[in-house]
Amino acid sequence: MNSFSFAVLATDGRARRGRVTTAHGSFETPAFMATATAATVKGMTPESVRETGAELAICNTYHLMLRPGAERVAELGGLHKFMNWCGPVVTDSGGFQVMSLAPLRKISEHGVTFRSHIDGTMHELTPERSMQIQQLLGSDITMAFDECTPFPAAEEEAAQSMRLSMRWAERCKKSFRCREGYGLFGIVQGSVYPELRLESVKTLSEIGFDGYGIGGLAVGEGQEAMFAMLDVTVPALPQDKPNYLMGVGNPDDIVGAVLRGVDMFDCVIPTRAGRTGKAFISHGTLNIRNARHARDPRPLDENCNCPVCESYSRAYLRHLFMADEMLGPMLLTKHNLHYFQNLMKDLRAAIEERRINDFAAEFAETQALGDIPPLFSGD
């Protein structure tokens, strides 16, 4: 079995290219995870997800504890066997989902009690129970249980929330069962207040984790504030450990975060966008439902070598969406996942070749062009 480790293979400014090794293999960084909330990437088989270049998946503790239940997953051999995924798996702690249940939950020093959004039954989630659930699931990377501070929050409110998360983080560390190849990440909180972010980093560093999540961002604060918090947070983190910007998935946010030294990302954006007809392409995005695609024989992106762009026209993809055929969302999801994995591959190459700043500038310029319309008008 592999030991859990992180190696920095190249740097360019603050950007770094690395490799994380886990019990179920390694993955290259900067990395974008495949979001498998309920132990599945919506509309995709595990084999298809791997074909996009994804090396690790992230599953959701909250949703899996409600159904089918962590104990049942463990009885069936753990997440890897259950969902037929051979690579590393990350599980979030459930903190973000519990935050979103505001009217249905109650927070105390001990933990959180909440009503299931599925059937209204009462549940309790504590740092200790979160560690137990994630162990039962068999995740390679376990996330500490935290309170995701909502935005906006006054500084006093953010401080109280962050310090509660730090006390919970210490309990998570004590409850986590160390095993060869499995890691535990602490999560930095502090909203948009630099001193609180630094206090959180200091506390987590003293506790000691295998990696560090950066939480409480991409919750409405805007890109400028997010980047400002990364400028404060990332340099203060232990540089021999991987870091993970949680819930961030806009391509320009990813590029800016990589420039600032972030290693790992996750977000539902590529799959959710695919299901609603939005495709990410080299010149920005397009809405395949738009009438101007009705007669367009071109692929989604002439610069993309994914199976969707090699085999299907915009006209056909639009037809699928307009006819409510399930294949449409499946194909756009597949393309979007390819797009994000190709972006990460390009970022890794740019860091290795020490041209990350040029890549970022070219990326921003190309994205600003927008989708190039066909030479004819649509129906």
pLDDT tens, residue order, the chain (379 aa)? 679 999 999 999 999 999 999 999 999 999 999 999 999 999 999 999 999 999 999 999 999 999 999 999 999 999 999 999 999 999 998 877 766 777 778 899 999 998 888 998 999 999 999 999 999 999 999 999 999 898 999 999 999 999 999 999 999 999 999 999 999 999 999 999 999 999 999 999 999 999 999 999 999 999 999 999 999 999 999 999 999 999 999 999 999 999 999 999 999 999 999 999 999 999 999 999 999 999 999 999 999 999 999 999 999 999 999 999 999 999 999 999 999 999 999 999 999 999 999 999 999 999 999 998 887 554 4
pLDDT score recorded for residue 2 = 79
Asked whether residue 325 is assigned to any structural domain, the reply reads yes
In a shared domain, residues 57 and 195: yes
Does 156 lie in the same domain as 241? yes
- Give the Cα separation of 379 and 371 in Å (integer): 18
Q: For residue 226, give Cα distances in angstroms to 166, 214, 245.
A: 21, 11, 10
The C-alpha angle with vertex 295 and arms to 293 and 300, in degrees rounded to 5, equals: 45
Q: Are residues 216 and 74 in the same domain?
A: yes
Q: By residue range, what is the domain housing residue 183?
A: 5-267
Residue after which a domain boundary falls, among 267, 293, 319: 267
Kindly state whether residue 347 falls inside one of the protein's structural domains.
yes
Quote the pLDDT of residue 29: 99
In a domain, 167, yes or no: yes
Query: Domain total for the chain?
Result: 2
pLDDT on residue 372: 84
The verdict on residue 377 lying in a domain is: no
Burial tier of 183 (Cβ tally within 10 Å: 0-12, 13-18, 19+)? buried
The amino acid sitting at 242 is: P
Identify whether residues 280 and 261 lie together within a single domain: no
Residue 113 in any domain: the answer is yes
| Structure confidence at residue 379 (pLDDT) | 43
Could you tell me if 11 and 132 lie in one domain?
yes
Q: Is 295 found in the same domain as 198?
A: no
DSSP alpha helix (H) spans, 208-326: 223-233, 251-259, 269-275, 307-311, 314-322
- Residue 42 in any domain: the answer is yes
In 3-state terms, what secondary structure has residue 36? coil
The closest alpha carbon to 96, from 31, 172, 174, 161, belongs to: 161
The catalytic site residues sit at: 92, 266
Residues 96 and 167 in one domain: yes
Is the model's pTM score more than 0.85? yes
**Does residue 288 sit in the same domain as residue 339?**
yes
Examine the fold and report which residue of 267, 286, 319 is the final residue of a domain before the chain moves on. Answer: 267
C-beta separation of 180 from 23 below 8 A: yes
Query: What are the two backbone dihedrals, phi and then psi, of residue 43, each rounded to the nearest 5 degrees?
Result: 80, 5
Whether 73 maps to a domain, the answer reads yes
Domain membership flag for residue 160: yes
The Cα 256–Cα 228 span in angstroms is 11
Phi-psi region of 114 (alpha: psi -120 to 50; beta: other; left: phi over 0): beta
